[in-house]
Amino acid sequence: MEAITLYELNNIVHGVLQHTMPDTYWIQAELSEVNERHGHCFVEFVQKSDHSEGLVAKARGQIWASRWAMLSAYFSHTTGQELQAGMQVLVEVSVTFHELYGYSLNVVDIDPAYTLGDIARRRREILRHLQEEGVDTMNKELPLPLLLNRIAVISSPTAAGYGDFCDQLQNNSYNLAFDTKLFPAIMQGDAVESSIIAALEQIAAEESGWDAVVIIRGGGAAADLSGFDTLQLAENVAQFPLPIITGIGHERDDTVIDMVAHTRVKTPTAAAEFLIQHGARQLELLDDCQTEIKMQVDKILSTEKIRLQMITQKLPVLTTSLLGRETTTLERINSALSNIIISKLTEGKGQIDLILHRLDSSALLTLRQRQNTLDNLSIRIESADPKRILKLGFSITRADGKAITSAKCLTAGTTLETTLADGTIYSTLTSPVNQKQLTTSYE
């Protein structure tokens, strides 16, 4: 068996491919890698399964420097973005095979319209998702405060657009005062989404301190817009509780967050001018209100002045008429009051006379009753007089000055004092108390 070398085999494959596939082909693929080195661009094309994220095909590719400078500028100008991983592209390639580096695709042309269509498709998918969630117009429906002067700004602190925005606000011709605070964020590259979301979360934590949010991106590359076309960032912007104004600095088309934000303007200076004009309109409304109030006040004062003059003219006549009516009323009241007083006095006098008559009769009757009572008491007192009782033959016996009511309490030797109607007898008890008879000696 005769063997050949690997180089010879690869050289045969090389010749076969050149002979059988001499033309170029337009292919649709997704970029999984994009690397620029030494002026050349090296990419990897992949095709995913329609039913999963698994790969069904993969190939290396390259855009040589001679074409890369032209194609990259053309693509960026047309799409507003640079070639990057994750993009769907339509490219014209020739099939090459190198004995050392193997199979690869040499890119000779690119159709930006295809990528634009894919970008638009992804934007439509994000917007459809937001619509299904019912949040796509939430931020747009928020009312702008009448006083829109406390502004939270999301931007790169080094961006020229941020400086233009602040300068425009501070030097406005209406002398409007604005209170701004920068919440720094990365405005290009892979960290755009996470950086802006973090800034929004900081602002939401102090929501009551702000009237609106401005997201501006000035001075960056026009091609770095893909970070603003993500579902998560769009959901945060659409559902943010404060109105969001975007001035990302591109004019050709809108990013997803432009579509869901409250207001979209082209540039950072346009965002500042929007805030200034909003304040100017409020000033104009205040001036109009002031003018209207002055007109209405003048009209009311004029009407009331005429009314006052009419009242002043009628006042003397009205006063005289009123005084006459009130004088008549007072006289009628005085007459009625006099009659009432006389009637009440007459009625009162009759009642007093009746009371006095009743008092006289009652006093006489009471005196007679009290006299009879006194007479009865005198008779009873006189009947109970001790002198009268003694004259009837009774006597009172005392011991130690106390009347004796029982003999049992007496002892032998007790001196007794017996009072009669005509004198007193003193005696001494000689026998004990328990004897049936008492023997006394008299002095």
pLDDT in tens, 140-169: 999 999 989 999 999 999 888 899 999 999
Q: Pick the residue with more confidence: 85 or 45?
A: 45
Taking the chain, what is the end-to-end CA distance rounded to the nearest angstrom? 196
Query: What local confidence, expressed as pLDDT, does residue 221 receive?
Result: 52
* CA–centroid distance for 217 within its chain: 34
Mean pLDDT confidence for 12-28: 89
Query: What local confidence, expressed as pLDDT, does residue 434 receive?
Result: 56
Q: What's the one-letter identity of residue 15?
A: G
Query: What local confidence, expressed as pLDDT, does residue 323 receive?
Result: 87
**Stretch among 8-22, 54-68, 396-410 having the lowest mean pLDDT:** 396-410
Query: What local confidence, expressed as pLDDT, does residue 257 receive?
Result: 93
Mean pLDDT confidence for 198-220: 91
User: Between 192-205 and 231-238, two packed helices, what is the crossing angle to 10 degrees?
Assistant: 20
Per DSSP, the residues of 76-144 read HHHHSS---TT-EEEEEEEEEEETTTEEEEEEEEE-HHHHHHHHHHHHHHHHHHHHHHT-TTTTTTSPP
The answer on pLDDT for 440 being more than 70 is: no
- What is the Cβ-side half-sphere exposure of residue 316, based on CA atoms within 13 angstroms? 2
Q: Report d(CA 251, CA 71) in Å as an integer.
A: 22
Token pair 């920068």: residue: 182
Q: What percentage of the chain has pLDDT greater than the value 70?
A: 95
The residue among 225, 254, 253 whose CA lies nearest residue 84 is 225
- Of 211-225, 245-259, 266-280, give the range with the top mean pLDDT: 266-280
Query: What local confidence, expressed as pLDDT, does residue 251 receive?
Result: 61
Confidence category of residue 431, pLDDT binned at 50, 70, 90: confident
Mean pLDDT confidence for 226-241: 92
Show me where the domains of the chain are located. Answer: 6-110, 138-281, 389-442
Q: Report d(CA 87, CA 311) in Å as an integer.
A: 86
Task: Name the DSSP class of 207.
Answer: G
* Residue 360, token pair as written in the block: 């006289």
The residue among 173, 169, 177, 176 whose CA lies nearest residue 216 is 169
Mean pLDDT confidence for 238-253: 86
Q: Report d(CA 33, CA 84) in Å as an integer.
A: 7
| CATH 2.40.50.140 assigned to 6-110 | yes
The residue among 218, 28, 26, 169 whose CA lies nearest residue 109 is 26
Q: Report d(CA 117, CA 303) in Å as an integer.
A: 70
Per DSSP, the residues of 212-259 read EEEEE--SS-TT--GGGS-HHHHHHHHT-SS-EEEE-S--S---HHHH
As assigned by CATH, the class of the 138-281 domain is alpha beta
The residue among 267, 261, 249 whose CA lies nearest residue 213 is 261
Q: In degrees rounded to 5, what are phi and psi of residue 283?
A: -60, -40
Confidence category of residue 250, pLDDT binned at 50, 70, 90: low
Query: What local confidence, expressed as pLDDT, does residue 422 receive?
Result: 82
- What is the Cβ-side half-sphere exposure of residue 57, based on CA atoms within 13 angstroms? 10
pLDDT by residue (tens digit) across 325-370? 888 899 899 888 888 988 888 888 888 888 888 888 888 888 888 8
Token pair 């304040």: residue: 279
Q: Report d(CA 81, CA 72) in Å as an integer.
A: 10
Mean pLDDT confidence for 30-49: 93
Instruction: Judge contact between 195 and 220, C-beta under 8 A.
Output: no
The answer on pLDDT for 229 being more than 80 is: yes
The answer on pLDDT for 105 being more than 90 is: yes
pLDDT by residue (tens digit) across 278-330? 999 998 998 889 889 999 999 999 999 998 888 888 888 888 888 888 888 99
Cα distances (Å, whole numbers) of residue 441 to 130, 178, 343, 418, 432: 145, 139, 91, 13, 14
Mean pLDDT confidence for 59-83: 90
Q: What's the one-letter identity of residue 204?
A: A
- Of 83-92, 271-280, 288-297, give the range with the top mean pLDDT: 271-280
Query: What local confidence, expressed as pLDDT, does residue 438 receive?
Result: 47
Other beta carbons within 10 Å of 163 = 15
Q: Report d(CA 330, CA 327) in Å as an integer.
A: 5
Taking the complete model, does pTM exceed 0.75, yes or no?
no
Query: What local confidence, expressed as pLDDT, does residue 443 receive?
Result: 44
The answer on pLDDT for 180 being more than 70 is: yes
Q: Over the chain, what is the mean pLDDT?
A: 87
Query: What local confidence, expressed as pLDDT, does residue 27 receive?
Result: 94
The answer on pLDDT for 179 being more than 50 is: yes
- Length reported for the chain: 443
Instruction: Judge contact between 153 and 214, C-beta under 8 A.
Output: yes
Query: What local confidence, expressed as pLDDT, does residue 363 receive?
Result: 84
402 beta partners: 399
Q: Report d(CA 313, CA 311) in Å as an integer.
A: 5
